[in-house]
Amino acid sequence: MKVYRVGGAVRDRLLGLAVKDIDWVVVGSTAEAMQAQGYTPVGKDFPVFLHPKTHQEYALARTERKSGHGYKGFTVFASEDVTLEEDLLRRDLTINAMAEDEHGLLTDPFNGQADLKAKLLRHVSPAFNEDPVRILRLARFAARFGFDVAPETLILMQGMVASGEVDHLVAERVWQEFAKGLMENTPSKMFAMLRRCGALARIAPEIDALWGVPQRADYHPEVDTGVHVMMVLDYSAAQNWPLTTRFAALCHDLGKAITPADILPRHIGHEARGVALVEALCERLRVPSDCRDLARIVCREHTHVHTALQLRPATVLEVFQRCDAFRKPERFKEMLNACLADARGRTRFENCDYPQADHLLKLLAAANTVNSGEIALSCTDKAQIPEKIKQARIAAIKSKIAGH
């Protein structure tokens, strides 16, 4: 029995990055032998065991054979006769198909170290095309490392899209990889890679449809909407904002997407179109409610936020109410951050002033000074309570604006 570090831990050490999770593979052993040494089996589909002391996962060396569509369509074979090279052969990319023994001796049968130096993402074997999730993983690694894709691998990915293999992706896995990619340093590179192979149009057509839509000439004349959205997304990543804000940044301009008339009639307004497309995307990919709700709010409200300095007090209150800002002030701040990213996601506007956010936060604080409880107690006609609270908040907002 021999134990090796494999995959990301080896790759990241060679890149000089911090190693977070270590994957272990065991060669020359069986499930019975592992359990006899105190390892606890945990894998249902794969022969994976927990170390008796460290509780880290150790997997028996295995091979895989395609038996159906999607990432679950595999038959796994684990045996003490499976070699380390055979186990590494089933992995997705050469940079993830290296191993180290206990002495740090590197096993690199597919030249992953050379691809690391060349900053290339290259498939290990033609079996790459058997699992469509690998397209998403490769795109995510492009966002993390800034690597390019090897020409032959790009051709393979394009073939997977053309054959319909990508259409068998499970929604939850798509979102899982999307979410990880959105949290990388340059998430726009993930979407660029998915567009190059044609997968984005199949996975998220609402996003893919943003390219080719021109921005307003007075707003961002040199690029189209897709490029602008990627700049907004990367700005959000540069600020180290959470997933909810980054997803909202990604979706904020979906209302501009060119969609077939039978999906969304042309007469529907920009904001309504955007919200409808956010809902469609989130429903299909099973996006968590916190991401969906913030994206919906940003898509609907960002144009109002941009004009906040000109809004009447009553309109400001309507914005607060639609955003549920009184009950969820932290989410309201996230919404403002997404709007800030929208303003700065333009060439030569990366550091522009954006007083709208601070302005609205001050007006929200002013509206929050209204004592709803006192107003309720003072009303003999309880039906008047909501209107009196509303008028008091409008007055507080008006007073704050006047005192600026």
Q: What domains can be seen in the chain, in order of their start residue?
A: 1-118 (3.30.460.10), 119-203 (1.10.110.30), 205-363 (1.10.3210.10)
CA gap 285, 343 in Å, rounded: 28
Residue 259: what pLDDT? 64
What's 383's DSSP letter? G
Q: What is the pTM of this model?
A: 0.88
* Exposure on the CB side of residue 328, measured as CA atoms within 13 A: 13
**Residue 234 and residue 227 in contact, taking contact as beta carbons nearer than 8 Å:** no
| CA gyration radius, the chain | 26
- Mean pLDDT of the region 157-162: 96
Residue 185: what pLDDT? 94
With a cut of 90, say whether residue 77 has pLDDT above it: no
Higher pLDDT, 9 or 80: 9
CA gap 237, 399 in Å, rounded: 37
Residue 331: what pLDDT? 98
- Mean pLDDT of the region 67-74: 50
| Segment among 206-215, 265-274, 363-372 with least mean pLDDT | 265-274
- Look up residue 24 and give its amino acid: W
- Mean pLDDT of the region 249-255: 95
| Segment among 43-47, 54-58, 121-125, 387-391 with least mean pLDDT | 43-47
Close Cβ partners of 382 (under 8 Å, ≥ 6 residues apart)? 376
For the chain, give the percent of residues with pLDDT over 90. Answer: 66
With a cut of 70, say whether residue 220 has pLDDT above it: no
**For 347-356, what is each residue's pLDDT tens digit?**
777 788 999 9
**Residue 24 and residue 5 in contact, taking contact as beta carbons nearer than 8 Å:** yes
Residue 32: what pLDDT? 87
CA gap 234, 231 in Å, rounded: 5
Query: DSSP 3-state assignment of 46?
Result: coil
With a cut of 90, say whether residue 221 has pLDDT above it: no
Residue 346 binned pLDDT confidence (cut-offs 50, 70, 90) = confident
- 226, two tokens: 């897709």
CA gap 178, 170 in Å, rounded: 12
CA gap 177, 133 in Å, rounded: 8
What's 63's DSSP letter? E
CA gap 146, 121 in Å, rounded: 10
For the chain, the first-to-last Cα distance in angstroms comes to: 74
Close Cβ partners of 20 (under 8 Å, ≥ 6 residues apart)? 12
Phi/psi for 232 (5° steps) reads -65, -45
- Mean pLDDT of the region 128-152: 96
**For 267-277, what is each residue's pLDDT tens digit?**
566 778 889 99
Residue 45: what pLDDT? 66
Residue 67: what pLDDT? 47
**Residue 157 and residue 149 in contact, taking contact as beta carbons nearer than 8 Å:** yes
With a cut of 90, say whether residue 65 has pLDDT above it: no
Residue 81 binned pLDDT confidence (cut-offs 50, 70, 90) = confident
With a cut of 50, say whether residue 244 has pLDDT above it: yes
Q: What number of residues does the chain have? A: 404
| Segment among 31-45, 197-211, 331-345 with least mean pLDDT | 31-45
Residue 135: what pLDDT? 97
**Residue 250 and residue 207 in contact, taking contact as beta carbons nearer than 8 Å:** yes
CA gap 255, 125 in Å, rounded: 41
Residue 125 binned pLDDT confidence (cut-offs 50, 70, 90) = very high
With a cut of 90, say whether residue 217 has pLDDT above it: no
Residue 261: what pLDDT? 54
CA gap 293, 278 in Å, rounded: 9
